[in-house]
Every structure is written in C-alpha cells, then in structure tokens.
A and B are shown apart, each in its own frame.
Chain A
Amino acid sequence: MRIWATFLFTVFVFFPVSEEPLLFAQDGPMPPALSMGDDELQAKTKEIAKVLRCAVCQSESVWESNSTLAIQMRDIVRERLLAGESSDEIQAYFVSRYGDYIIFKPRFRGINLLLWGGPFLLLLFGGVILLRNLSKWTKPHPELPEAPSASLDPIDEKQRQRLEQELRKG
C-alpha cells in the first residue's frame, strides 16, 4: 500500500497532467526553446509579453493585463517559444496580425523612422536656428558707431568724491 502511495505521489508531483506534448517523445534535434527550464520560459514569455500591447486594454501590456485576449496572447507566446521561435519572430507574427500598433516600442523602419528621428531632427533644426540667431546678435551692427577702442580716462578726485556722495545717498 505504501509503495502504491509513493508511486502515485511521484507521478502526480513530478509528472503533472499537461496538454503540452511530451518533450522526450519527440524525434530529431530539439529546438532551442525546448531546452528551456520553466523559469527561463516564464522569463522569456514575460520579456516578449511586456513589449506587446493588450489590444483591448488601456495602455496595458499583454503581460500586465488579465483580459482573456491578453491571457490567450501570452499562451501563444509561450507555445511559439516552445516551438523554438525567437523573440523577433514572435513579435513579427503579432505585427503581421495586428500591425505595428500591437508593440509598445515602434520598430525602427518605414514611417516609424520619423517617430525615432523626428525629435533629434527638430533638435538639430532648432539648434541651427539658435546658432544663426546668436551669431547675428553677437555681430556688431553696421549702422551703430563702433565702441571706442581706447581705454577710458581715469576719473579725478573731485568726480570720485561726488560719486561716493551719490552712492551714500542711496
């Protein structure tokens, strides 16, 4: 009886019932993701799901949302990882279904280049305008007389005393 109990305990604890195909029953070389441990798979799923936008939520990622669609999307990410697909391939799959909207970080291509490069272009544009104006402001005005190049005459004692008097008055 004890032997049977131990056997059943071992079976249910170490070989839980799962819908996933048995990995050891597969033939041929093992795809890279199949060698992942649970923790690694979870971490990889999280990494990808955090980049994907939950299509039915307000600014929530597929990882953060508990909507049914987000849960189903997480399952698909996990399935595809197990099938050996890379992060890029999985993201590309979701983009092919929902468009660029589905990823939080716009991809560096096409019209998205404007999003990435736009702020830098505007900064450059503003900088050039600022530089041009600054150089204009610092250039001496052609119509104004030039500042006297000679040093000013020193003030005499009388003027100095008067200045001090005025300063004291406040």
Chain B
Amino acid sequence: MKGFGIWQAFLLIGLFGLVVLFYQGLWGDPTALPPVIIEEPASEIVAPDLYSGEEFRLSEHLGKVVVLNFWASWCLECKLEHKFLLAIQKRFESRADFAMYGVNYQDKARLAKAYLEQYGNNFKHVIDAKGKISIDYGVYGVPETFIIDKKGVIRHKIIGPVLGDSYSDLVENIIEPLLNKPESGVTS
C-alpha cells in the first residue's frame, strides 16, 4: 500500500477514537454523574432530629449499615419512593446493625412533618437547615440515597427515587450483603 505512512495510521487511530467517544456519548446516560464520594469515608453529620430536636451524630452509628435518604416535602419523586423507603425500614428494623435516617433538604419543618403525617413514617429524620450536610455529601437534588457500611464508608449512592428494580437491587444486592458481612475491622 503505497503512501500509507505512520501519520496516516495515527490519523486513523485518532479518528477511530473520536468515533468511539461519539458513540459512547450517543448511547450513554446524559444524567449520569461521576460517583465521586463512593468508597470514601462518610462525612460526620451533626444535625437536629426533626421531631425532638435532639442532636443526631452519624459517628454514633459506626458498626451499623446506615441508609441516608435526602428528601423534601416539595419533591414529587420523593413521594413516589416513600412507600419503598418505609418497606426498607420495615424489612430491616429488627436488626440492631441497621439504621435508616431521612435528611430533610431545603424544607420547612412544619411542611416536612405534614408530609410524613400524610405519607406515613417509620424511621427518623434530621434537618439540614443550612445545606451543609447535602453539600458534604455532594447532593445535587432530591431524592438521593446513600448506603454507608459498618466501617462508616459510603458504599453506594442512588440519584433519583428508589423504586421497582432499584429497590430490589438496593435491598438484595447492597444492604443485605453489607449486613451479612462480618464486622471485623470496624473502626471507631
């Protein structure tokens, strides 16, 4: 093949790379965000309980699998997932090594309480008054759910509502394996 040199080969490789990137861009999920804080130690949370005002500290729950759900009363998708969150709590509430907390995001306590009264409630909630917790967890919007393992490391993050397949996946493939994992090496 006369005239097909190294430059043409580089050009072809470059063009092929661009086509691959273009193809990925076409079929990729445009809403997908990089999972930045997965596998990182969860930031400490110190926040008042929505009802009692008592101080909640995440670090007091080391040794437990913690589900943190960021929600707001004005969030429509939160309403869709709410019964699934209640189901998660109901399924694992008997286990001492499980805890689930709601983090109320950019909301008013009065509206949050009215929401819980309307849709039901079986787990505790804390207030993120100044948005510090949400920003510490890199939250873009609600709902977002984080799974923290017994060592206090964020193992999974779900952007959007937990329902249908994502609910089954969360319960069976994430929470249960984490709960059944031996507790050795829990740091304090």
Q: Which A residues contact B (CB, under 8 angstroms)?
A: 55-56, 68-69, 72-73, 75-76, 94, 96-101, 125, 128-129, 132
Known: A73-B135, A98-B36, A101-B33. A68 touches B106 (CB 8 A): yes
Give every chain B residue within 8 A of A94 (Cβ-Cβ): 135
Tally of A-B Cβ pairs under 8 angstroms: 49
Q: Are B7 and A132 in contact (CB under 8 A)?
A: yes
Q: Are A96 and B37 in contact (CB under 8 A)?
A: yes
Give every chain A residue within 8 A of B131 (Cβ-Cβ): 68-69, 72-73, 75-76
Question: Is B132 an interface residue when CB atoms closer than 8 A count as contact?
Answer: yes
Question: Is B27 an interface residue when CB atoms closer than 8 A count as contact?
Answer: no
Looking at chain A's contact residues, the main secondary structure is helix
Interface residues of B in 120-145 (CB under 8 A from A): 130-132, 134-138, 140-141
Indicate the size class of the contact surface on chain B.
Answer: 20 to 34
Q: Are B37 and A75 in contact (CB under 8 A)?
A: no
Assembly CA distance A97 to B139 (angstroms): 8
Q: Are B132 and A99 in contact (CB under 8 A)?
A: no
Question: Is B177 an interface residue when CB atoms closer than 8 A count as contact?
Answer: no
Q: Which of the residues A68, A73, A99, A129 comes within 8 Å of B7, measured between beta carbons?
A: A129
Assembly CA distance A69 to B132 (angstroms): 10
Give 1 or 0 for each of B135-179: 1 = CB within 8 Å of chain A CB: 111101100000000000000000000000000000000000000
Beta-carbon nearest neighbor of B37 in chain A: A97
Residue from the set B34, B130, B138 with the largest chain A CB neighbour count within 10 Å: B138
Question: Is B10 an interface residue when CB atoms closer than 8 A count as contact?
Answer: yes
Known: A72-B131, A129-B7. A96 touches B36 (CB 8 A): yes
Name 16 interchain pairs, CB-CB below 8 A, sorted by A.
Answer: A68-B106, A68-B131, A69-B134, A72-B131, A72-B135, A73-B131, A73-B135, A76-B131, A76-B132, A94-B135, A96-B36, A96-B37, A97-B136, A99-B34, A100-B34, A132-B7
